[in-house]
Amino acid sequence: MAQARTLLASLYEHVSEVSQNMAKTEHLIRHTPKHSSTHRHHHRRAAAMRRDLYEAHRLIDGIHHRYPTTRDAR
């Protein structure tokens, strides 16, 4: 149970960091010329971060399903 809580804390921290980076990247997307390579790069980066967030949330949900008492561990 302690390992699950430690992993959850790490996952929540990771989600927070990626969310902040995602917000910055979305800001960059809005403020770069649409048909530039930089714009495409930011779009690919945002997509990768989105996949990373989905995976982190999937892991969090799995831990909560396996250890229901961890739901309030945030």
Q: Summarize pLDDT for 10-69 with one digit per residue, the tens.
A: 999 999 999 999 999 999 999 999 999 999 999 999 999 999 999 999 999 999 999 999
| CA–CA gap between residue 43 and residue 28 (Å, rounded) | 9
- pLDDT classification of 71: cutoffs 50, 70, 90: confident
What is residue 72's predicted lDDT score, i.e. its pLDDT? 74
- Please give the residue that has the higher pLDDT: either 74 or 65: 65
Q: How many C-beta neighbours within 10 Å does residue 24 have?
A: 12
What is residue 73's predicted lDDT score, i.e. its pLDDT? 47
Nearest to 25 by CA among 11, 9, 10, 38: 38
- Indicate the domain borders of the chain: 2-72
